[in-house]
Amino acid sequence: MIISTTLRSLTLLLAFASKSVLTKHNDSAWHGHLNPNSEAPEPFRPYYVPAGSQAFDNISPTITYSGVWTSATSKDYVNSTLKYTTAINASFTFTFSGTGVEWFGTTGPDHGVAQVYLDGQLLSKKVDEWDSVARVQQRIWAAYDFPRGKHQLKVVNIQPSNHSRHRAPRTGHRIDVDALVVIGNLASTTTPPRKLPRRSWSDDWRPPLTGRGLQGQWTLEQKGNTGVSAMQFAVISETRAIVVDKVEHNVATFEGHPAWAAIYDFSENQAYPIKISSNSFCAGGTFLSNGTFINVGGNPVVEDHTNSADFGDLNGLQGIRILQSCTQSGSPSDCVLYENADNIHLDSSRWYNTVTRIPDGSAMIVGGAHAGGWINNASTNNPTYEFYPPKGDGKSIQMSFLANTLHANLFPIVFTLADGRIFLAANQDAIIYDIDSKSEQTLPKIPNNVRITYPMAATGVLLPLDPAKGYQSEVLICGGSTISDTMAGYDISSKTPASKQCSRLLLTDDGIKAGWSVEEMPDARLMPDAVLLPTGDVFIVNGAGSGISGYGNVANQIGASNAGNPVFTPVLYSPGAPTGSRFSSHGMPTSNIARLYHSVATLLPDGHVLVAGSNPNLDRSTAEYQTEYRVEHFSPPYMTMSRPSFTGTPSRLDYGQSFTVQLTLPAQADTKTLQVSLMDFGFVTHAVHANARLVYLESTISADQKTLTIKAPPNANIYPPGPGWIFIVIDDVPSTGQQVLIGSGANPPIQN
């Protein structure tokens, strides 16, 4: 099953259209520096030489040709030259040193099929260069992550079938070579894991007080490639997620140009590029009450900075992108992020906004900037919020909190609380906001001068909502920095330590009066990700030990990164354990992939954690710290244990509805530990896990332990209407999650 990812009709889409005028912005949101020679617009094509890589033209002496090859010239070729052949068994051989190689050439109806060998081994049996449209400077084939050293690439033209892979007639059997790009010959493409100091089992490092499902050895496996850099990520079905990036020269292509959105199938570990029209750089996102996924805001046209003027990506600052034609049974390539900029757009420009789903099932879109920059300022700050679908006159609504929290207030931490009000934290401040009265309740400041939003990014979690505790809302905010938000970039160093602080606040009258309680993670982290597990524990991963978010701005940049000292080992936080024993890295594996700016992490329905992304660069780079496409999977100990299972979950649940499932428990399971977790995995970007939520559901097990009666959340404040996942947990061992739609499934209201 997949929750509907398309609204009911185009008529309804247009009914949701903003009542405001689409604002035209010519300001660029790029900051820090420009690409060399990028001022002259050029077509946006896949050919690109990332920082840390080296290009070799087709006439390079490192390339040898066998058989009949013909030279051709055109201003559309790299360096205006190209070599091609139509002779069967003609080949070219390229000797190089590096960890990856990309072959660029042309595609078209008259193109054939090649075989590719690396170091004498057949690597690709059939590389088809056919395309219905003639295209130049296309990435024909690429391979990465082989051992550093000297290698030999051989490409052979073979006899093709009469029809292409799309069953269209083939008019020839040409292959060609325009240029080759070697990855990893100029700089390291991976960052070795730091050597962790030996630690005694102090309070911070002893195994947490959890059930057996989290005790023992975690495992880490690297498999899969997202194709586009995973700046934004959301799980949309049992096996698929949407990945959204900015306009840049990603390795995946779509209709002849670099892609910046994809469907990632985590059951196949395969990425499928999809259509997106506007620049989604630093956008927000959410699901609506009917299950539709939207992606909002972004960046202006980047014609002077990514050579994409002739491609014509649209201004994304007011963009609303709606995921359509995306079903579990259909091809992922059919998915599209629908855009209709003239009729469906935000009221105001928003770069670095946060989106939360509110109790009526619509989206509250909070803050951001009117145009690009780095640290926010009064001239670009957008101290407002708006709704999608629009409410009232559709205009943005002022929020003094967003004006008072300059300058570090982009991507605010926002949660819809169990009483229907909204928690917001930005810079060093926090409030509870009442949408109906438009009133702000000031909360205690974040302790110890720690700033917690971009570019001093921390991560926030709404801790599990438990009916046994009256669904009391409690927030946890971890990481960040004490760097001043008034300092100039050249006065900030990538070496300035990040914060270890985790601040926790119970949002009751007594809890607010008591103020934030403070704990320390084992490692300081800037830009961490906090992932709720079905057990109620929090998996903290990714981030930097020093510096500040972004790229190209500060002193002592590492490559282009404003941050350094990647933190390679995750830590588990157990909210219910006694203070002083809540953190543990016991049994945690250590990665060798730096996950810094533009990284993501999320829970998957089978219970493990997917980690992807990292790109502290203006455009794709293979220098330190490189643009990351590799995907990692962290598996908790429970993944190898006997796990509970259940059947009979309805596809949709009304509030307060009781339903019964058939239950299978592991032998000798302790039913006193049984919990039912309803989860929203959230929309992840820039350390913000928007809408991430866990609600414990009331349940009663039968005497024979074969059925379980479960009660849905009592109202939309506890769990705003929209998609969710149900897990049954026993002894801290969860089942696989089952997808469900909470609420009526109706479209969010349109209010005039």
pLDDT at 328: 76
pLDDT at 32: 32
Share of the chain above pLDDT 90, in %: 82
Q: Which residues have C-beta within 8 Å of that of residue 106, sequence separation ≥ 6?
A: 82, 84, 129, 134, 135, 136, 137, 138, 176, 178
Check whether 111 has a pLDDT greater than 60. Answer: yes
Number of domains in the chain: 3
Check whether 314 has a pLDDT greater than 80. Answer: no
Q: Which among 531, 462, 537, 459 has a CA at the least distance from the CA of 499?
A: 459
Check whether 557 has a pLDDT greater than 50. Answer: yes
pLDDT at 159: 82
CA distance between the termini of the chain: 34
pLDDT at 310: 39
Are 388 and 320 members of one domain? yes
pLDDT in tens, 674-730: 999 999 999 999 999 999 999 999 999 999 999 999 999 999 999 999 999 999 999
- Residue 612 is part of a domain; what is its CATH number? 2.130.10.80
- Residue 687 is part of a domain; what is its CATH number? 2.60.40.10
Backbone angle region of 462, left / alpha / beta, with phi > 0 → left and psi within -120 to 50 → alpha: beta
Q: For 480, phi and psi rounded to 5 degrees?
A: 110, -155
Check whether 205 has a pLDDT greater than 50. Answer: no
User: Does 334 fall in a domain?
Assistant: yes
* Mean pLDDT estimate for the chain: 90
Which is more confidently placed, 542 or 146? Answer: 542
Q: Which residues have C-beta within 8 Å of that of residue 487, sequence separation ≥ 6?
A: none
User: What is 498-539 written as a DSSP string?
Assistant: ---EEEEEE-SHHHHHH--EEEE-SS--BS-EEEE-TTS-EE
User: Does 214 fall in a domain?
Assistant: no
User: Does 574 fall in a domain?
Assistant: yes
Given pLDDT bands bounded at 50, 70 and 90, which one contains residue 193? very low
pLDDT in tens, 330-376: 889 889 999 999 899 999 999 999 999 999 999 999 999 998 779 99
- Beta-carbon count within 10 A of 695 CB: 23
Share of the chain above pLDDT 70, in %: 88
Among candidate residues 598, 624, 640, the one where a domain is terminated: 640
pLDDT in tens, 497-523: 999 999 999 999 999 999 999 999 999
pLDDT in tens, 52-110: 999 999 999 999 999 999 999 999 999 999 999 999 999 999 999 999 999 999 999 99
Which is more confidently placed, 187 or 242? Answer: 242
Instruction: Compute CA distances 552 → 40, 50, 245, 373, 527, whole Å.
Output: 21, 16, 18, 12, 17
pLDDT at 563: 98
Check whether 7 has a pLDDT greater than 90. Answer: no
Q: Which among 378, 363, 397, 402 has a CA at the least distance from the CA of 720?
A: 363
For range 433-461, the mean pLDDT: 98
For range 123-140, the mean pLDDT: 94
Among candidate residues 592, 615, 640, the one where a domain is terminated: 640
Q: Which among 129, 215, 154, 142 has a CA at the least distance from the CA of 183?
A: 142
Are 393 and 276 members of one domain? yes
Looking at 159-289, which runs of residues are DSSP E strands? 175-177, 179-183, 219-225, 232-235, 240-244, 253-254, 257-258, 261-265, 270-273, 284-287
pLDDT at 185: 66
Check whether 37 has a pLDDT greater than 80. Answer: no
pTM of the model: 0.93
Are 597 and 683 members of one domain? no
4 near 291, Cβ under 8 Å?
yes
Burial class (CB in 10 A: 0-12, 13-18, 19+), 714: middle
Which is more confidently placed, 395 or 313? Answer: 395
Specify the pairing of strand 652-653 against strand 738-742. Answer: parallel
Instruction: Produce one character per residue of 660-677: b if its CB has 16 or more CB atoms within 10 Å, e if not.
Output: ebebebeeebeeeebbbb
d(CA 567, CA 590): 9
Instruction: Compute CA distances 191 → 187, 291, 546, 565, 593, whole Å.
Output: 10, 39, 16, 10, 6
* Cα dihedral: 242, 243, 245, 248 (round 10): -110
d(CA 721, CA 623): 44
pLDDT at 171: 78
Are 227 and 285 members of one domain? yes
d(CA 246, CA 265): 20
Are 662 and 612 members of one domain? no
Q: Which residues have C-beta within 8 Å of that of residue 27, sequence separation ≥ 6?
A: 300, 371, 372
- Residue 113 is part of a domain; what is its CATH number? 2.60.120.260
pLDDT in tens, 241-294: 999 999 999 999 999 999 999 999 999 999 999 999 999 999 999 999 999 999
User: What is 670-730 written as a DSSP string?
Assistant: -GGG-EEEEEE--EEETTEEET-EEEEEPEEE-TTSSEEEEE--SSTTTS-SEEEEEEEEE
Are 657 and 530 members of one domain? no
Are 688 and 633 members of one domain? no
User: Does 35 fall in a domain?
Assistant: no
Are 485 and 544 members of one domain? yes
Check whether 186 has a pLDDT greater than 70. Answer: no
Are 593 and 691 members of one domain? no
Given pLDDT bands bounded at 50, 70 and 90, which one contains residue 230? very high
User: Does 196 fall in a domain?
Assistant: no
d(CA 288, CA 284): 13
Q: Which among 349, 232, 334 has a CA at the least distance from the CA of 285?
A: 232
d(CA 726, CA 744): 17
pLDDT at 36: 45
pLDDT at 136: 97
pLDDT at 28: 37
User: Does 599 fall in a domain?
Assistant: yes
Least confident residue range of 34-48, 101-115, 119-133, 243-257: 34-48
d(CA 225, CA 77): 28
Scanning the structure block, which residue is given the tokens 């998996």?
539
Helix segments in 105-262, DSSP class H: none
Given pLDDT bands bounded at 50, 70 and 90, which one contains residue 168? low
Q: Which residues have C-beta within 8 Å of that of residue 704, sequence separation ≥ 6?
A: none
For range 368-388, the mean pLDDT: 94
For range 536-545, the mean pLDDT: 98
Find residue 739's DSSP bridge partners: 725
Burial class (CB in 10 A: 0-12, 13-18, 19+), 465: buried
Find residue 710's DSSP bridge partners: 659, 699
Check whether 39 has a pLDDT greater than 60. Answer: no
Q: 139 lies in which domain range?
A: 53-161+171-183
User: Does 750 fall in a domain?
Assistant: no
Helix segments in 218-315, DSSP class H: none
Indicate the SS3 state at residue 666.
coil
Are 537 and 442 members of one domain? yes
Among candidate residues 605, 621, 640, the one where a domain is terminated: 640
Are 334 and 404 members of one domain? yes
Find residue 413's DSSP bridge partners: 425
pLDDT in tens, 11-23: 445 455 545 555 4
pLDDT at 211: 64
User: Does 213 fall in a domain?
Assistant: no
Are 439 and 294 members of one domain? yes
User: What is 310-350 written as a DSSP string?
Assistant: TTTPBP-TTBEEEEES--SSS-GGG-EEE--TTTSB-SS--
Which is more confidently placed, 738 or 27? Answer: 738
Q: Which amino acid is at 308?
A: S
